[in-house]
C-alpha cells in the first residue's frame, strides 16, 4: 500500500481532437493517492472527455496517461484488468437493465475477479447497506429512483475495490431532491480516503470534500488550486466569468 501523496494518476501532455475541435489541449495533471479532485468548467470544455480518457473509454491522440505507474494499455486483457482497478460512475447510471440490483453489484466480482457467488453476495449486501439501498436488492433497476440507481452504481464500482474512482457528472441527471443522497455517499467516500476525480457543477461538494479544484475551458486546464482559493479568488478571467454565471442564481 502506497502512502498518501504518492502520484496515482498522471496525465502527461495529453492531446485529443474531435475533427477540428482540440478537446484536450496539452493536459498535464497529477493526482496523488487519497486526493479528491473536482474538475469543473463550462460545457464543451473537455472535462468529461478527460474523465473518460483516464479509463480509456475515450482514446487520446498523444501524450501518456498512467495509473499507479503503469501506462494505459491500448486494448485487450491488460486494459480490462486496469479498468477493474478504476471505478467509474456515469451521469446516466448505466445499471445493467436485465439484472437485479444485487446482481448489478455482484456481476463484476463474479465474472471479473472470479469471486464465489456467496462471497460476492455478502460483500455486495454490505456495500448496498452502506449506500442505503440494501432493501431494494431484489428489484430491477427501472423500479428505483434516479438517486437510488446512482447509489447502486457507486456500490457496483466499489465492489471491484478500485484504487481510484471517476465520477462523470454523477448528479446532473438527477432531480434536485435526490442530489444530496448521492453527494452524501460521495463525501463519505472522500472522508475514508478514496482517491476521487469528480466532474461536477456541485460547488457545495467541491467546498466540502475536494482537496483541489481543476478548472477547464476550451480543452485546457486554466486553474488548478484549492476550492477556497478558486471560489473566493479566481485568478483567470475565464474562471471569474464562469463563476459569475453559475453563482448569481
Partner 1 sequence: MVIFDNLPLYLEAFLQTLALLLLTIVLALPLGAVIAAMRISPIGSLRATATVYTEILRNTPLVLVFIFCFVVLPILGVILPFMFSAVLALTLYTAPFFAEAIRSGINGVPVGQAEAARSIGMTFGQTVTLVVLPQAIRSVIPPIINVMIALTKNTSIAGGFFIFELFNSGRRLVNENGDQVILVLVGVAAFYLLITIPLGQLADFLERRVVIRR
- Considering the rule CB under 8 A, would residue 112 count as an interface residue with partner 1? yes
- Piece in contact with partner 1 (CB under 8 A), picked from 156-164, 178-186, 218-226, 230-238: 156-164
**Buried-exposed string 97-124: b where 16+ CB fall within 10 A, e elsewhere:** eeebbbbbbbbbbbeeeebeeeebbebb
User: Would you count residue 142 as binding partner 1 (CB under 8 A)?
Assistant: yes
Interaction of residue 170 with partner 1, rule CB under 8 A = no
Site membership for partner 1, residue 115 (CB under 8 A) = no
Contact 91, 170 (CB under 8 A): yes
Cβ contacts of 187 within 8 Å, gap of 6 or more: 205, 208, 209
One residue of 96, 119, 135, 191 binding partner 1 per CB under 8 A = 96
Does 140 engage in binding with partner 1 (CB under 8 A)? yes
State the burial class of residue 244 (Cβ atoms within 10 Å of its Cβ: 0-12, 13-18, 19+).
Answer: exposed
First CA to last CA distance, the chain = 44
Residue 173 binds partner 1, judged by CB under 8 A? no
98 binds partner 1 (CB under 8 A): yes
Decide if residue 125 touches partner 1 (CB under 8 A): no
CB 235 within 8 A of CB 223: yes
Per rule CB under 8 A, is residue 114 in the interface with partner 1?
no
CB of 240 to partner 1, least distance (A): 35
Best CA proximity match to 89, nearest among 5, 154, 173: 154
What's the CA gap between 41 and 199, in Å, rounded? 9
Q: Which stretch binds partner 1 (CB under 8 A): 7-15, 81-89, 189-197, 203-211?
A: 81-89
Contact call for residue 13 and partner 1 (CB under 8 A): no
Helix (H, G, I), strand (E, B) or coil at 157: helix
Exactly one of 15, 66, 94, 163 binds partner 1 (CB under 8 A); that residue is 94
Please report, as ranges, the residues that interact with partner 1 according to CB under 8 A. 55, 57, 75-77, 80-88, 90, 92, 94-98, 107-108, 111-113, 140, 142-143, 153, 156-157, 159-160
Amino acid at each position: 500500500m502506497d502512502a498518501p501523496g504518492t502520484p496515482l494518476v498522471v496525465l502527461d501532455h495529453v492531446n485529443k481532437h474531435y475533427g477540428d475541435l482540440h478537446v484536450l489541449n496539452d493536459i498535464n495533471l497529477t493526482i496523488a493517492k487519497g486526493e479528491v479532485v473536482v474538475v469543473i468548467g463550462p460545457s464543451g470544455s473537455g472535462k468529461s472527455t478527460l474523465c473518460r480518457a483516464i479509463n480509456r473509454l475515450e482514446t487520446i491522440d498523444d501524450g501518456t496517461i498512467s495509473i499507479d505507474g503503469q501506462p494505459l494499455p491500448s486494448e485487450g486483457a491488460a486494459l480490462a484488468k486496469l479498468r477493474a482497478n478504476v471505478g467509474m460512475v456515469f451521469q446516466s447510471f448505466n445499471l445493467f437493465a436485465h439484472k437485479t440490483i444485487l446482481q448489478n453489484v455482484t456481476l463484476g466480482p463474479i465474472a471479473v475477479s472470479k469471486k464465489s457467488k456467496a462471497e460476492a453476495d455478502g460483500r455486495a449486501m454490505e456495500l448496498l447497506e452502506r449506500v442505503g439501498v440494501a432493501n431494494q436488492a431484489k428489484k430491477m433497476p427501472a423500479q428505483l429512483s434516479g438517486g437510488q440507481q446512482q447509489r447502486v452504481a457507486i456500490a457496483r464500482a466499489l465492489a471491484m475495490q478500485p484504487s481510484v474512482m471517476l465520477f462523470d457528472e454523477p448528479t446532473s441527471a438527477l432531480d434536485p431532491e435526490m442530489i444530496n443522497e448521492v453527494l452524501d455517499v460521495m463525501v463519505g467516500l472522500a472522508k475514508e480516503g478514496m482517491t476521487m476525480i469528480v466532474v461536477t457543477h456541485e460547488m457545495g461538494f467541491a467546498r466540502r470534500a475536494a482537496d483541489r479544484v481543476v478548472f477547464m475551458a476550451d480543452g485546457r486546464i486554466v486553474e488548478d488550486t484549492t476550492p477556497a482559493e478558486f471560489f473566493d479568488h479566481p485568478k483567470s478571467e475565464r474562471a471569474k466569468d464562469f463563476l459569475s454565471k453559475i453563482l448569481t442564481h
